[in-house]
Amino acid sequence: MKISFIGSGKVGVALAYTTALKGLAQEILLSDVSADKAYGEALDLLQCQAFCPQARITHGQIRDTANSDIVVISAGIPRRADEPRVMLLSRNASLIAAIVKEAVALSPQCILLIITNPLDVMTHLAYQVSGLPAERVIGMGTVLDTARYRSYLAQHFSVDARDIDAYVIGEHGETMVPLTGNITIKGVPLATLPAYDNTVITRIGQEVEAASGQVIALKGGTVYAPAASACEILGAIVNDDRKVLPVSTFNSRYKTAVSLPTVVGRHGAGPVLNIPMSPSETTAFTHSVANIKRYVDELKV
Amino acid sequence: MKISFIGSGKVGVALAYTTALKGLAQEILLSDVSADKAYGEALDLLQCQAFCPQARITHGQIRDTANSDIVVISAGIPRRADEPRVMLLSRNASLIAAIVKEAVALSPQCILLIITNPLDVMTHLAYQVSGLPAERVIGMGTVLDTARYRSYLAQHFSVDARDIDAYVIGEHGETMVPLTGNITIKGVPLATLPAYDNTVITRIGQEVEAASGQVIALKGGTVYAPAASACEILGAIVNDDRKVLPVSTFNSRYKTAVSLPTVVGRHGAGPVLNIPMSPSETTAFTHSVANIKRYVDELKV
Amino acid sequence: MKISFIGSGKVGVALAYTTALKGLAQEILLSDVSADKAYGEALDLLQCQAFCPQARITHGQIRDTANSDIVVISAGIPRRADEPRVMLLSRNASLIAAIVKEAVALSPQCILLIITNPLDVMTHLAYQVSGLPAERVIGMGTVLDTARYRSYLAQHFSVDARDIDAYVIGEHGETMVPLTGNITIKGVPLATLPAYDNTVITRIGQEVEAASGQVIALKGGTVYAPAASACEILGAIVNDDRKVLPVSTFNSRYKTAVSLPTVVGRHGAGPVLNIPMSPSETTAFTHSVANIKRYVDELKV
Amino acid sequence: MKISFIGSGKVGVALAYTTALKGLAQEILLSDVSADKAYGEALDLLQCQAFCPQARITHGQIRDTANSDIVVISAGIPRRADEPRVMLLSRNASLIAAIVKEAVALSPQCILLIITNPLDVMTHLAYQVSGLPAERVIGMGTVLDTARYRSYLAQHFSVDARDIDAYVIGEHGETMVPLTGNITIKGVPLATLPAYDNTVITRIGQEVEAASGQVIALKGGTVYAPAASACEILGAIVNDDRKVLPVSTFNSRYKTAVSLPTVVGRHGAGPVLNIPMSPSETTAFTHSVANIKRYVDELKV
């Protein structure tokens, strides 16, 4: 298994480190617009080998990603303070489109994992320009938001977070939808717990929506939860788990990439599962899809 | 963490091996009515240390289990072909009662994990004679049957078995109750899957009920699925996971030990969760409880 | 990764279980001369999936092993009490030769791992009839004896057994050679330890030579140490570790399969390393090689 | 197991993340002079719980570290551009002394793991002010430098880095001593390899000495190799491995803290092993010890 990481920023490298610790790849390649950055990060990971599962840790240009099984794209240009969002979108879009085209030409059998924001728009774009089937173009989507939701619920109800069956769906962004009905703990309805309180769930959902901003304000960026979430997707692919994760994939029904619970394995992501929603959740999800499509449409301007 | 295994039969030793592979204990002690058997098994495990997490692997008498954090009891006298079940019950009961009393006196802070059959009756008995709070006397219960149910459902629906939220509850024995309604895959209703078919669920439930007999007929005994299931319980205790598992514990509402989804952590097992049942499932569960109580009552004869 | 196990006896199945627990394969196939045995063992492993890394667990005939990445052969006919060793040799040899030819025809890119005894003779034979390069025909060799040696030394000197650099080389059998000079603990000479005593090392070497017989006498067979040892080899292959293990491979210098420290990775086993030996160790090793060759020659009768 | 991290900088938090991924603790507490930083980092780790072994992840003041089993200290004041090294030393020394006193008063049974630089001086100081036995005051020492040495040697000789038995000893700093003689690969002398070349070893030793500066120049700091190295020490303690690691501990023979191969387990670090050195290595080590002592003496000014 060769996994290439295009973009060696904080999340990309924390993800590569997690991938190495879990022994998911025999070859890990780091690439970055700054060759020095990619080289330094590769050295920092290579020096872990004495205490890690073994992998060839290398760095290089996009051309060195050839024959990757998985290509992870976290590259992106940060927004300048004075520029409108549409400009950012179009600038990152050009970058991602160019990377995707080059990477897929070099690794036509690869699975793409998209981490660059705005997540769903970039995943949609990557699907379009790659020519790959939708199931092999996977956005991290709301897996991170879902991780936060489950972790907070687990903390509140004092159970294993891995047993919490709860989802955030829709856009990985401001219109995300934490589903509050039908949450179960390993199949047992949360509502049967003595500590259950509807207002608590709503409050935790709001904390999840605020989590990214809160962590950025407190420590300057989100790093480890995104890395652990993205690595869960990588693990499901590498080990062919067929695990259910709310990744973002192009959805032919909604004509855009959007996150819903989806089976993830060595084949990629699919099928998408039908999770029940209340009428208000359906409305919120529809609104979220519309929001992603609005940005997708801007790309075409 | 010191874990002692009283009974070094096939399941007990496969469980000790799994415990060693997962690095759950720093001290593993094997005991058996046959000192040679315990010694041989301890040697076979000790010789794995070069390729395993480290633990002191020893063997000894029950007195050597002193200061255990967890005591696993799988000891038991097999049924003679010509003796009635009640005789078996009373003979194993005397043995388990004696072991429990001695073990708990030596390790008053321990958690007991009961594997000896008839499982629920022995768990009930161990609770009674130990004087320990119910949450620290845990029977393997229907964790094994549930493992089979989830594994079979996962195979049929082609998803990660660890994502299947399905339970077998009640007696670990002939009256076990596979719950067929409300099964979810990581929270998503199984019934939303295109491949879903009610009759398939019923058939898989029947296969689970038949599984133990089938494996015994084919290979002479069940070993690895029981070991993996019991080790899931040990892991939840050691790592304080607060994971939901259908262990058997004395249930004050039903006045007997019986399996229901229960939170398992370093404190032991509890609280028991309220899993929804259909009217027919409630009837079957009530019948299963009554069956366990019938054997519990025989103990008092 | 597809790993097929031909032979579903105690060691073969304990190895398949260990392989499943470690998540080394996405497909595990069990085969046995008794189809019922293979089916029962496969069910016992399949039922673990709810608590294990995911794999397709199947059973079948040798023809079902097609396209395996690794084929593990532990099949073998036990010796009848009244038959001479040569007869056993020739009977198992016919069996192994037939299995190897069929298996390699179905999986021409596979690596063979031989566990059937007499180990070195069967490895030699498998090399000859397979037509595979020597590095892809690997006998478990003295990895098991080495595991015992390191585990016992670690216990005596109270250090991590994985840090003990000690080897048993030569035949996996009565003429095995525990190397007693130059033993190090993660590179530090054992002889610098205050507890060091030459006679202790000699005694432990003798205990290793006696270990197999001792465990068989006490518990009826060796199971877990062989399984853990063989799985160390499988792990080194699957993860491409390039780990040093004393596997048995055909050695062109000695014109027979024999165990020496060898680099093991995804390519198979090789190169063989040059471990220093004292004159008496060299003599013992030469004697051990001669012993293997004597049996190898019997095959040709 | 409760592990508290005092200092939530890049290395401290990467270490806490690694600790969480490996499931080494049931409680992880982050503390920092910036309460916001500690809070943000704790949130980032807490949000991983959905995909991680379970632990209570909290943040707080040093007083909240009470009853820790292990206290990891990576806190430190960075050097101002215009201040002499002695000033830095004395400023960090005051900080570390105060932290150690407070932490040990709250957790008198704890083991201290020191990561703050200058490493050996801070470890020496922590030993002095803590009143703890030397084996429970452990500096990361040259474990990181050793990790680099082994990783580079493994890459060059194409073998598993975990099998390389090579050490850097002495000061974790400019006078570190990469031992070039007697390097073995899992006990087999490196010099027996065809690719062996004395000048290569010397060059790799020099690369190790330069590695920290190189990574800082390329990516702005060293993060993951220090985290993986420190976590190897934590793992050896938590799992009571009795693994050999070149940690820094107060050495009564040299009257200072200094790194030599040492057995690390639940008891802490000790005994120190006697690794053979060539005359020139002995000279270099003596020089390295003298260098540490020079700084230790400055502390008393």
Contact residues on chain B for C164, CB-CB shorter than 8 A:
50
Find the mean pLDDT for residues C67-72: 98
Q: Inform me whether the pLDDT recorded for B82 exceeds 80.
A: no
- Measure the CA–CA gap between B177 and B171, rounded to whole angstroms: 8
Omega before B271 cis (within 30°)? yes
Give A187→chain B minimum CA distance, Å. Answer: 5
- Predicted local confidence at residue B80, as pLDDT: 66
- What's the 3-state SS for chain D? CEEEEECCCHHHHHHHHHHHHCCCCCEEEEECCCHHHHHHHHHHHHCCHHHCCCCEEEECCHHHHCCCCEEEECCCCCCCCCCCHHHHHHHHHHHHHHHHHHHHHHCCCCEEEECCCCHHHHHHHHHHHHCCCHHHEEECCCHHHHHHHHHHHHHHHCCCHHHEECCEEECCCCCCEECCCCCEECCEEHHHCCCCCHHHHHHHHHHHHHHHHHHHHHHCCCCHHHHHHHHHHHHHHHCCCCEEECCEEEECCCCEEEECCEEEECCEEEEECCCCCCHHHHHHHHHHHHHHHHHHHHHHC
Find the mean pLDDT for residues D123-133: 97
What's the alpha-carbon Rg for chain A, to the nearest Å? 19
Residue among B36, B51, B144 minimizing CB distance to C218: B36
Q: Inform me whether the pLDDT recorded for C195 exceeds 90.
A: no
- Predicted local confidence at residue D234, as pLDDT: 98
Contact by Cβ (8 Å): C145, C178 = yes
Find the mean pLDDT for residues C249-277: 97
- Verify whether the Cβ–Cβ distance C239 to A23 is below 8 Å: yes
- Verify whether the Cβ–Cβ distance C26 to A54 is below 8 Å: no
> Minimal CA–CA distance to A94: which of A125, A70, A69?
A125
Residue among C26, C240, C242 minimizing CB distance to A240: C26
- Predicted local confidence at residue D160, as pLDDT: 98
- Predicted local confidence at residue C301, as pLDDT: 53
Give C72: exposed, middle or buried? Use CB within 10 Å, 0-12, 13-18, 19+.
Answer: buried
Contact residues on chain C for A54, CB-CB shorter than 8 A:
239-242
- Give the sheet arrangement for strand C70-73, strand by strand: C56-59, C27-31, C2-6, C70-73, C111-114, C137-139, C248-251, C256-259
The residue of chain B nearest to residue D54, with distances taken between CA atoms, is B241
- D271-290 pLDDT, tens digit per residue, is 999 999 999 999 999 999 99
Q: Inform me whether the pLDDT recorded for D123 exceeds 70.
A: yes
pLDDT band at B298 (very low <50, low <70, confident <90, very high): confident
Those of residues 180-239 in D touching chain C at CB distance below 8 A are 182-189, 192-193, 236
- Verify whether the Cβ–Cβ distance D40 to A162 is below 8 Å: no
Q: Could you tell me the sign of the dihedral formed by the alpha carbons of C27, C32, C35, C40, in that order?
A: negative
Report the interhelical angle of C35-46 vs B143-157 (nearest 10°). Answer: 100
- Measure the CA–CA gap between A169 and A183, rounded to whole angstroms: 13
- Predicted local confidence at residue D162, as pLDDT: 98
Interface mutation vs chain D, best among A8, A54, A219, A223, most D CBs within 10 Å: A219
- Verify whether the Cβ–Cβ distance A161 to D50 is below 8 Å: yes
Give B184→chain A minimum CA distance, Å. Answer: 6
Give A293→chain D minimum CA distance, Å. Answer: 28
pLDDT band at B238 (very low <50, low <70, confident <90, very high): very high
Extents of the domains making up chain D: 2-139, 143-300
- Verify whether the Cβ–Cβ distance C240 to A23 is below 8 Å: no
Find the mean pLDDT for residues C102-114: 98
Interface mutation vs chain D, best among A27, A49, A145, most D CBs within 10 Å: A49
Tokens of A265: 């394995």
- Verify whether the Cβ–Cβ distance A241 to C23 is below 8 Å: no
- Predicted local confidence at residue C85, as pLDDT: 63
B172 a catalytic residue: yes
Measured between CB atoms, does C266 come within 8 Å of chain A? yes
CA geometry: angle B98, B103, B109, nearest 5 deg: 140
Q: Inform me whether the pLDDT recorded for B118 exceeds 60.
A: yes
- Predicted local confidence at residue C298, as pLDDT: 84
Residue among B50, B146, B217 minimizing CB distance to C150: B50
Measured between CB atoms, does C154 come within 8 Å of chain B? yes
The residue of chain B nearest to residue D20, with distances taken between CA atoms, is B239
Q: Which DSSP state fits A171?
A: -
List the CATH code of the domain at A143-300.
3.90.110.10
Q: Residue B229 is inside which H or E element, if any?
A: helix B224-238
Find the mean pLDDT for residues D15-38: 98
Ranges of residues in chain A whose predicted pLDDT is under 70: 78-86, 301
- Predicted local confidence at residue D211, as pLDDT: 95
Which residue among B156, B172, B267, B287 is the active-site one? B172
- Predicted local confidence at residue C233, as pLDDT: 98
- Verify whether the Cβ–Cβ distance B261 to A188 is below 8 Å: yes
pLDDT band at D79 (very low <50, low <70, confident <90, very high): low
Q: Per CATH, is A2-139 categorized as 3.40.50.720?
A: yes
- Measure the CA–CA gap between A125 and A51, rounded to whole angstroms: 39
Contact residues on chain B for C13, CB-CB shorter than 8 A:
224
pLDDT band at B301 (very low <50, low <70, confident <90, very high): low
- Verify whether the Cβ–Cβ distance D275 to C187 is below 8 Å: yes
End-to-end CA distance of chain C: 39
pLDDT band at B194 (very low <50, low <70, confident <90, very high): confident
Report the interhelical angle of C143-157 vs B35-46 (nearest 10°). Answer: 100
- Predicted local confidence at residue B243, as pLDDT: 98
pLDDT band at B148 (very low <50, low <70, confident <90, very high): very high
Q: Inform me whether the pLDDT recorded for B88 exceeds 90.
A: no
- Predicted local confidence at residue D301, as pLDDT: 53
Measured between CB atoms, does A23 come within 8 Å of chain C? yes
- C217-233 pLDDT, tens digit per residue, is 999 999 999 999 999 99
- Verify whether the Cβ–Cβ distance B161 to C18 is below 8 Å: no
Residue among A158, A184, A189 minimizing CB distance to B242: A158
Q: Inform me whether the pLDDT recorded for D82 exceeds 80.
A: no
Give C291→chain B minimum CA distance, Å. Answer: 26
CA geometry: angle B197, B161, B143, nearest 5 deg: 100
Q: Inform me whether the pLDDT recorded for B221 exceeds 80.
A: yes
- Measure the CA–CA gap between A123 and A132, rounded to whole angstroms: 12
Tokens of D211: 């590695």
- Measure the CA–CA gap between B86 and B92, rounded to whole angstroms: 10
- C16-53 pLDDT, tens digit per residue, is 999 999 999 999 999 999 999 999 999 999 999 999 99
Tell me, what's the ipTM?
Answer: 0.97
pLDDT band at D90 (very low <50, low <70, confident <90, very high): confident
In this structure, are strands D137-139 and D164-165 parallel, antiparallel, or unpaired?
Answer: unpaired
CB pairs under 8 A between B and D: 20
- Predicted local confidence at residue B31, as pLDDT: 98
Find the mean pLDDT for residues D72-88: 76
- Predicted local confidence at residue C79, as pLDDT: 62
* Residue C55 burial (CB count, 10 A): 25
The residue of chain C nearest to residue A242, with distances taken between CA atoms, is C54
Q: Which DSSP state fits B107?
A: -
- Measure the CA–CA gap between C284 and B164, rounded to whole angstroms: 57
Question: pLDDT > 70: what percent of chain D?
Answer: 97
Q: Distance of CA A79 to CAs A90, A91, A121, D23, D255, Å? A: 11, 9, 16, 37, 55
Give C209→chain B minimum CA distance, Å. Answer: 13
- Measure the CA–CA gap between B216 and B210, rounded to whole angstroms: 10
The residue of chain D nearest to residue A166, with distances taken between CA atoms, is D50
Residue among A23, A54, A239 minimizing CB distance to C242: A54
The residues of A assigned a catalytic role are 172
Mean pLDDT, rounded, of chain D: 95
- Verify whether the Cβ–Cβ distance A49 to D155 is below 8 Å: yes
Mean pLDDT, rounded, of chain C: 95
Measured between CB atoms, does D160 come within 8 Å of chain C? yes
- C150-177 pLDDT, tens digit per residue, is 999 999 999 999 999 999 999 999 999 9
Measured between CB atoms, does B48 come within 8 Å of chain C? yes
Contact residues on chain A for C26, CB-CB shorter than 8 A:
239-240, 266
Q: Inform me whether the pLDDT recorded for B84 exceeds 70.
A: no
Measured between CB atoms, does C40 come within 8 Å of chain B? yes
Contact by Cβ (8 Å): B73, B116 = yes
Which runs of E-coded beta strand occur in A22-160?
Answer: 27-31, 56-59, 70-73, 111-114, 137-139
- D216-258 pLDDT, tens digit per residue, is 999 999 999 999 999 999 999 999 999 999 999 999 999 999 9
Residue with tokens 């959905």: D50
Which residue among D124, D156, D172, D287 is the active-site one? D172
The residue of chain C nearest to residue B9, with distances taken between CA atoms, is C219
- Measure the CA–CA gap between C128 and B194, rounded to whole angstroms: 51
Those of residues 59-118 in C touching chain B at CB distance below 8 A are none
- Verify whether the Cβ–Cβ distance C40 to B223 is below 8 Å: no
Find the mean pLDDT for residues C184-189: 97
- Predicted local confidence at residue D81, as pLDDT: 61
- Predicted local confidence at residue D87, as pLDDT: 72
Contact residues on chain B for A161, CB-CB shorter than 8 A:
none
